[in-house]
Structure 1
Amino acid sequence: MSGFEDLHLLLAGSRPAAQAVARCGGAAIDFGQFRRMVAGWRAAFAAAPGERFALYFEDTVEFAAALFGAWHAGKCAVLPGDALPATVDRLVRYVDGFAGDLPASCKPLAPLMQSRDTFAPLDPQAAQLVVYTSGSSGEPLAIAKRLEQLFSEVRALEQAFGDRVGPDAEILATVSHQHIYGLLFRVLWPLAAGRVLHAERLHYLEDLAPALQAGGAALLVASPAHLKRVPPELRPDARLRAVFSSGGPLPDDAPAACIAHLGMAPVEVYGSSETGGVAWRQRSGPDSAGWTPLPDVQWRLRGETLEISSSHLDTSDWTATQDRAAPSPTGFTLLGRADRVVKIEEKRVSLAAIEQALLVSGFIDELRVVALAGPREQLGIVAVLNEAGWAAHDEAGKKVFALDLRARLLQQLDASSAPRHWRFVSALPSNSQGKAQQTALQALFDPRRPQPRLLEATPTQASLRIVADAALPQFDGHFPQHPVLPGVAQLEWAILLGRELFPTLPPTFLALEGLKFQQVITPGMTVTLNLEFKPEAGRLAFKYSSARGPHASGRVLFGPAS
């Protein structure tokens, strides 16, 4: 750890004034300049009444100067993850002032001219940072941290990764410093180790190649959201020393793509705002899935629950995480989360918060938030509408109605993490215990599936309204110039919906009877599907009709499993 300096002594130490600290727009910022920036912010915070100040900056160098200025003025820095209106409104009730790129109504502080740039050491035991993460109650959870928790984690990062990075690597990043991962890797670790940080964030991985060409050795601090979509035109560059990934799980196919286009697999760091960094891994093959604890981190299992102990925590006791784990040769493997917080595009999203925000609309009786698998992590909403909800749905149309509900969520969620897919239903699919099943909820988002509205139902009869959406894949290629809904799709829908509505429908298909197709169903057409189930005969009768008359009908015979 040659050249490493504990952060409580950073401004009080003897680091040379000419040593490079950062780059901003291609221009170098040395330690003397940085010290004067911190002094100006210290003066501004010292002159302001109150203890807690919210900091939100786009420029990482200015953010770092304001952060240390607040700390040296004895203030607590509160780091919101965004500057959305709902976030700012919530902060007004919690903080005494603001600094950074925030609305003028917040009256953000500005640094003051200050000639005195000498500093006393920081108190490592002072609780001078608050970060936010989503809580299971639906409200963002404020997490207070002592400076020593941060500083000890920085020491652990240097001990674990300093040799592979080298002393001269500059910090390139796609992640924000407003979150704990970016704060540690983009700001605190490079300042302690004497590495050059960059004021600007790389918004796309396509920006990496020119950034490398403009400088020397570098490391990349990225997120799974970027690393799982590595641009194919990128080529390995010897100037790139290491790639780090944190904030969420990296898909299994991402390391191979990174090796091909970046020249190495990412170092994945597992942790959370609550726990700090816990463990790391670098997957170069199927046998490297286990996690290795970071220095100073101890772990154990209580059942399947992972518990940890480290100086990164605010307690010396063992702390239960919200993750399940199992032992591995290098440490442990993770088996999945056990709480109701998910990560979408590396942003922690509280499912309870989404549910609360939508229920107050007055249109929804019950809903479930569903995590949808795919190339991009996304959320879907399955909502049981009440009478007022269906009236608003029918008046505006499904698309506009869903956009109106989504607009409510955008007051507190980033657009990248807000739900994009909506299913409006008359009842949640449930099992025999009356509990909504995750697999059944996820099945509602199958693109081949219609989105029916149940009009009426009894134990043996049902009537549904279906809009034959033009986006349904069943229309593709059937026929190119005049698409129609294939008869096999109509039959498949009748059986699918019959099984959902009539749980006692026998499991095995036996035969078709009286199958008729009288009129085609074209894109955008609204049809009614009537189903009748005769349990004693194991027979499901179906009929599609519209204002034009009958479209198709028939009977499906079922029997017990052989």
Structure 2
Amino acid sequence: MANFISLERLLFTGRESTFRVAKNAGQSMDYDNFIKEVARWYHAFSLHSGHRFALYFNDSATFAAALLGAWHAGKCVYLPSDTLPATLQKLQESTDGFAGDVPAALSPIAAANESVSNWQVLDLNSVMLVVFTSGSSGEPCAIPKKLSQLVSEVAALEACFGKQSAGATVLATVSHQHIYGLLFRILWPLSAGRIFDTERLVYPEDIAAAISNASPEATILVASPAHLKRLPEQLDWLAQSLRAIFSSGGPLPAEALPACRNLLGSAPFEIYGSSETGGIAWRQRQQDHQTVWRTLPGIAIRVENETLFLRSPHLSNNDWQASNDRVTLTPNGFELLGRSDRIIKIEEKRISLSAMEQALLATELLDDVRLITLPGPRLSLGLIACPNEAGWCLIDKQGKKALNQALRHALADSSEASALPRRFRYTWALPSNTQSKTTHAALLALFDPRRPEARLIERSKDAALLEIDVNAGSPFFDGHFTTAPILPGVAQVEWALCLARELFELPAAFLRMEVLKFQQVIRPRSQIQLELKTLSKDSETMLTFKFVSAAGTHASGRIVLGNPA
């Protein structure tokens, strides 16, 4: 068993040159090669006078080497969750440079061919990382982290879960660009001496393949609730090699637990915390009634007026900090009652969005639901829901308005008429980013009149079929044309790319368009189907789309995407 080395002394202490650090597709990276990569990044960052650098890498081993190289060069690393233009533009205002898989126009730092013979112990009091909230209630906020905070989190994880995870290879569905993924799939394995897989498991089918490829070696799975809700059935015969499963980034629905227990052999260790607070508590629900959370080592809690207060070495100081969660204490820990920041006022009436969502789920017409406040002169609510089979059946038989009315009726006894949802959107899944977080901005985007209202009919790893009711009120029809409106070709391409990005993980950069054909016009109130297929080859991903209806093919084409060059 490898010895545990605290992060600040990781390179100073070192490991055997042949010690396995990471692997990908059966190829391993030993400590000797890893440390050479760290040295190359150390020299690259040392050549720059700036202090703040944003890192974004697809490969976890390269990311880990660049991160340690930057830290040992005295730099503070900013951790963006994506490379979208808006994200990069904001980072340009707050950082001195970039490294990794970002556009060449940003002049990213490249590793230099140098070596290092003597590594120093890092300063625990230095701010070495800036992470960002998910923006669940607005714009993401930057959160600075001292190295001591990260060291304490890693030590707590090892103290609590080290025995279950000893000697196992770390597989992950979550990105290292978020604090959960960074801790569980990079920093903790590096300190504990566990191998981590450098590739993120994007699709549920990838989980089965990764566990199979790792066999007979033991594995642990670091996952999000979104992936654990959609486990492939072929996992059951592989579960014996899984030592532990971790889930964080959002609540794990109780209905996902039976599949986890049956297919993975055990309930996940659920981690409760946030980017701001770090890890707070954990639980493992081997039976559905086990709802109590236990605090992680070093965490002190108290409750005032149902609000959870905590004191933690993962925070920037030793003061008591109020959370946004309501809890009740139990003999062995605490139970969560909901978020206090989801209480709003509409016409001077206090409304609990969480309570309303629970009432909506009780209709047994929905798999998931979220209520948000909509911008406008008067505060109003928008409802985004994922209907279940009964919900979609109601829409098919009586129309969308029938489901709208059924949901409003379910709230009528407990909510004032002024607090009932005014606008509705139905989709196959709540939008989520690479950290499996559903942000306020992503939910609000579903009400953009330019976005088509689509229903998912079929889906596989690389293909999907959707049904679209073409809304006559779409702004794309404005001025195109007054007497006989038709949907412009540019709107059709935008719809295809927009929906494809919601269904598949696609490269950020648009490279070119190929074999584009417009054969029949699409008119308002049409019902059409959209066929999507993806194919990755070398560094490019081809997205093929086709709009069809009973009248035949309306349009087709191929969009070529790639990572920024």
Q: TM-score, normalised by structure 2?
A: 0.65
Identity score, percent: 46
Structure 1 pair 44/393, CA: closer, same or farther in 2 (3 Å)? closer
Alpha-carbon separation, structure 2, partners of 1:25 and 1:128: 31
Following superposition, the deviation at residue 337 of structure 1 comes to 1.9
**Which structure 1 residue ranges, 5 or more long, are not aligned?**
344-348, 418-466, 472-522, 524-562
Residues 228 and 260 of structure 2 are in contact (CA less than 8 Å); yes or no, is this contact kept in structure 1?
A: yes
Following superposition, the deviation at residue 286 of structure 1 comes to 2.7
Does the alignment pair 1:239 with 2:241?
A: yes
Alpha-carbon separation, structure 1, partners of 2:249 and 2:275: 9
Following superposition, the deviation at residue 238 of structure 1 comes to 1.4
Following superposition, the deviation at residue 339 of structure 1 comes to 2.7
C-alpha deviations, 1:53-92, integer Å up to 9, x for none?
0000000000000000010000000000111111011111
Counterpart residue number, 2:138: 138
Alpha-carbon separation, structure 1, partners of 2:444 and 2:22: 42
Counterpart residue number, 1:263: 265
Structure 1 pair 144/381, CA: closer, same or farther in 2 (3 Å)? closer
Counterpart residue number, 1:218: 219
Match of 2:305 among 295, 298, 303: 303
SS in 1 for 2:54: strand
Following superposition, the deviation at residue 227 of structure 1 comes to 0.1
Alpha-carbon separation, structure 2, partners of 1:10 and 1:329: 39
Residues 125 and 147 of structure 1 are in contact (CA less than 8 Å); yes or no, is this contact kept in structure 2?
A: yes
Does the alignment pair 1:82 with 2:95?
A: no
Two-structure CA RMSD over aligned residues (Å)? 3.8
Alpha-carbon separation, structure 1, partners of 2:72 and 2:301: 34
Counterpart residue number, 1:183: 182
Counterpart residue number, 2:110: 110
Alpha-carbon separation, structure 1, partners of 2:339 and 2:486: 32
SS in 1 for 2:254: coil
Residues 280 and 292 of structure 1 are in contact (CA less than 8 Å); yes or no, is this contact kept in structure 2?
A: yes
Counterpart residue number, 2:332: 330
Residues 258 and 266 of structure 1 are in contact (CA less than 8 Å); yes or no, is this contact kept in structure 2?
A: yes
Residues 135 and 350 of structure 1 are in contact (CA less than 8 Å); yes or no, is this contact kept in structure 2?
A: no
Counterpart residue number, 1:490: none
Structure 1 pair 416/142, CA: closer, same or farther in 2 (3 Å)? farther
Alpha-carbon separation, structure 2, partners of 1:272 and 1:380: 22
- 1:239-388 alignment, distance < 5 Å: 239-339=241-341, 368-372=381-385, 376-378=429-431, 379=443
Q: Which moved more, 1:286-295 or 1:370-379?
A: 370-379
Structure 1 pair 400/118, CA: closer, same or farther in 2 (3 Å)? farther
C-alpha deviations, 1:288-324, integer Å up to 9, x for none?
1111110111111121211111100112111111111
Counterpart residue number, 1:165: 165
C-alpha deviations, 1:484-504, integer Å up to 9, x for none?
xxxxxxxxxxxxxxxxxxxxx
Following superposition, the deviation at residue 27 of structure 1 comes to 1.3
Alpha-carbon separation, structure 1, partners of 2:197 and 2:23: 5
Structure 1 pair 351/331, CA: closer, same or farther in 2 (3 Å)? same
Counterpart residue number, 2:408: none
Structure 2 residue identity aligned to 1:213: S
C-alpha deviations, 1:377-433, integer Å up to 9, x for none?
354679799xxx9794763799979x98x989x99xx8479xxxxxxxxxxxxxxxx
Counterpart residue number, 2:196: 197
Structure 1 pair 181/134, CA: closer, same or farther in 2 (3 Å)? closer
C-alpha deviations, 1:18-60, integer Å up to 9, x for none?
2111113321111111111111101001101211000000000
Counterpart residue number, 2:229: 228
Structure 1 pair 105/301, CA: closer, same or farther in 2 (3 Å)? same
Residues 55 and 80 of structure 1 are in contact (CA less than 8 Å); yes or no, is this contact kept in structure 2?
A: yes
Following superposition, the deviation at residue 255 of structure 1 comes to 1.2
Following superposition, the deviation at residue 333 of structure 1 comes to 1.1
Following superposition, the deviation at residue 335 of structure 1 comes to 1.5
Alpha-carbon separation, structure 2, partners of 1:278 and 1:149: 13
Structure showing greater Rg: 1
C-alpha deviations, 1:209-267, integer Å up to 9, x for none?
33223221010000000001111232142111000000001111111111111111111
Following superposition, the deviation at residue 205 of structure 1 comes to 2.5
Following superposition, the deviation at residue 156 of structure 1 comes to 0.3
- 1:398-413 alignment, distance < 5 Å: none
Alpha-carbon separation, structure 2, partners of 1:41 and 1:350: 45
Structure 1 pair 292/469, CA: closer, same or farther in 2 (3 Å)? farther
Counterpart residue number, 2:51: 51
Structure 1 pair 470/56, CA: closer, same or farther in 2 (3 Å)? closer
Following superposition, the deviation at residue 164 of structure 1 comes to 1.3
Alpha-carbon separation, structure 1, partners of 2:474 and 2:257: 49
- 1:421-460 alignment, distance < 5 Å: none
Structure 1 pair 384/230, CA: closer, same or farther in 2 (3 Å)? closer
Following superposition, the deviation at residue 139 of structure 1 comes to 2.4
Structure 1 pair 251/399, CA: closer, same or farther in 2 (3 Å)? farther
Counterpart residue number, 2:5: 5
Counterpart residue number, 2:72: 72
C-alpha deviations, 1:175-205, integer Å up to 9, x for none?
1000000000000000000000111111123
**Which structure 2 residue ranges, 5 or more long, are not aligned?**
344-352, 355-369, 389-428, 432-442, 450-471, 505-523, 529-549, 551-565
Structure 1 pair 307/373, CA: closer, same or farther in 2 (3 Å)? farther
Following superposition, the deviation at residue 325 of structure 1 comes to 1.2
Counterpart residue number, 2:156: 156
Structure 1 pair 53/373, CA: closer, same or farther in 2 (3 Å)? same
Structure 1 pair 262/367, CA: closer, same or farther in 2 (3 Å)? same
Q: TM-score, normalised by structure 1?
A: 0.65
Residues 371 and 381 of structure 2 are in contact (CA less than 8 Å); yes or no, is this contact kept in structure 1?
A: no
Counterpart residue number, 1:529: none
SS in 2 for 1:154: helix
Aligned residues: 405
Following superposition, the deviation at residue 284 of structure 1 comes to 1.2
Counterpart residue number, 2:465: none
Alpha-carbon separation, structure 2, partners of 1:374 and 1:123: 51
Alpha-carbon separation, structure 1, partners of 2:448 and 2:185: 44
Following superposition, the deviation at residue 350 of structure 1 comes to 12
Structure 1 pair 81/399, CA: closer, same or farther in 2 (3 Å)? farther
